[in-house]
Amino acid sequence: MGLFDGLFRRGKQADAQPSKDFFLDPDEAKTYGNIEYMRTAKVVKKTFPATGGAKEEVEVVELVSSIEKVNPEAQNKGKPEPSVSDVVTPPVEEQERRRSDPSLDLFRSMAKDLRRG
């Protein structure tokens, strides 16, 4: 039983050592990184290509941090946004419907027979 006596003695010695409590301040406990860097606001620019009726690229600028996000519309009030009434669509000409070719009637009837059978 010498093996088990050695194990139990170690456990008693570990309990005899006083435990020291260690507490982190709130900022260090929340993250592993630099929290001051995360709190600083960064400018984010997003550009979208000109598609559809719009002729210019659209750029949205946002000021973002881990605490808040600034409304991009408040910063970009000077830029006019394209509206639906500004976009002009060319008139679409209606195409005449083609007449069916009578030489294909044989193939159409064969296709109908295949679907049924």
Residue 49 included in any domain? yes
Instruction: Identify whether 46 is part of a domain.
Output: yes
- Higher pLDDT pick, 18 / 23: 23
Torsion sign, CA atoms 79, 85, 91, 96: positive
Region 29-53 average pLDDT: 80
Domain count, the chain: 1
38 three-class SS? helix
Tens digits of per-residue pLDDT, 74-98? 655 655 555 555 556 667 777 787 7
Residue 109, pLDDT above cutoff 60: yes
37 found inside a domain:
no
Domain of residue 51, residue span: 42-78
Give the pTM.
Answer: 0.32
Residue 105 belongs to a domain: no
pLDDT at 14 over 60: no
For residue 75, the SS3 value is helix
The answer to whether residue 31 sits within a structural domain is: no
In a domain, 55, yes or no: yes
